[in-house]
Amino acid sequence: MTILSPYQRVMTLLQGKMPDRVPVIPQVTYTTAQLTGVGLVEALHSPEKTAEALLTGQRELGYDAIYVGWESSFNLLAEAMGCTMRFPEDSVPQVAEHVIKSPDDVDKLELPDPHSSGRLPIHMDMVNIVKDAVEGEIPLFAYTPGPFTLAGQLAGVNSLMVATIRNPQFINNLIAVAYKASKRYALANIQAGVDVVVTADPTASGSLISPKTFETYAAPHQQALVDAITQAGAIASLHICGKTTSMLELMAGTGTSILELDHLVKLTEATTRVGNDVILMGNLNPTELLLTGTPEAVEAAARECIEAVGQDGQYILSSGCEVPPLAPLANIRAMVTAAKKYGQYA
Amino acid sequence: MGNDIVDQIRVAMIDCQTDQVLELVPKAIDKGIVASEIVNRGLTAGIRVLGDRFEKGEAFLPELAVAAETMKQALDFLEPHLAKSVDEEALGTIVIGTVQGDIHDIGKSIVATMLTVAGFTVHDLGVEVTPAQFIAKTKAVNADIIAMSALLTTTMDRMQETIDLLKSEKLDTRVKIMVGGAPVSQQFADSIGADAYGVDFNQAVKIAKRLTGHSND
Could you give the CA distance from residue A232 to residue A201 in angstroms, rounded to a whole number? 21
Q: What is the pLDDT along chain A (346 residues), one digit of tens a residue?
A: 688 999 999 999 999 999 999 999 999 999 999 999 998 888 888 999 999 999 999 999 999 999 999 988 999 999 999 999 988 777 788 888 999 999 999 999 999 999 999 999 999 999 999 999 999 999 999 999 999 999 999 999 999 999 999 999 999 999 999 999 999 999 999 999 999 999 999 999 998 999 999 999 999 999 999 999 999 999 999 999 999 999 999 999 999 999 999 999 999 999 999 999 999 999 999 988 999 899 999 999 999 999 999 998 899 999 999 999 889 999 999 999 999 999 999 7
- Give the global pTM: 0.88
CB B103 within 8 A of CB B128: yes
Q: Does B154 touch chain A (CB under 8 A)?
A: yes
Residue A164: which of B62, B101, B182 has the nearest Cβ? B62
Task: Report ipTM (2 d.p.).
Answer: 0.86
Could you give the CA distance from residue A56 to residue A332 in angstroms, rounded to a whole number? 14
Can you state the percent helix, strand and coil of chain B, rounding each to 5? 60, 10, 30
CATH architecture classification, B93-211: 3-Layer(aba) Sandwich (3.40)
Domains of chain A: 6-342 (3.20.20.210)
Strand partners, A315: A280
Cα B143 to Cα A260, A328, B135, B212, B215, distances in angstroms:
43, 36, 9, 11, 18
B153 contacts A291? CB cut-off 8 A: yes
Closest-CA distance of chain B to residue A254, Å: 22
Q: Which fold has domain B2-87?
A: 1.10.1240
Could you give the CA distance from residue A109 to residue A88 in angstroms, rounded to a whole number? 26
A105's CB contacts (< 8 A; 6+ apart) are A99
Q: What is the pLDDT along chain B (217 residues), one digit of tens a residue?
A: 446 999 999 999 999 999 999 999 999 999 999 888 898 889 988 988 988 898 888 999 999 899 988 988 998 898 888 765 544 567 899 999 999 888 788 788 888 988 887 888 899 998 889 999 999 999 999 999 999 999 887 788 889 999 999 999 898 889 999 999 988 888 889 999 999 999 888 889 889 999 998 875 5
Q: Nearest CA to A316 among A267, A277, A281, A289? A: A281
- In chain A, residues with a C-beta closer than 8 Å to the C-beta of B187 are 288, 292
Among A30, A41, A161, pick the best mutation site for testing chain B contact (most B Cβ within 10 A): A161
Cα B185 to Cα A12, A209, A286, distances in angstroms:
37, 21, 11
- In chain A, residues with a C-beta closer than 8 Å to the C-beta of B65 are 158, 161-162
Among A28, A30, A287, pick the best mutation site for testing chain B contact (most B Cβ within 10 A): A287
Q: Does A157 touch chain B (CB under 8 A)?
A: yes
The residues spanned by each domain of chain B are: 2-87, 93-211
CB A339 within 8 A of CB A46: no
Cα A194 to Cα A10, A180, B44, distances in angstroms:
13, 19, 51
- In chain A, residues with a C-beta closer than 8 Å to the C-beta of B106 are 157-158, 161
DSSP code of residue A313 = B
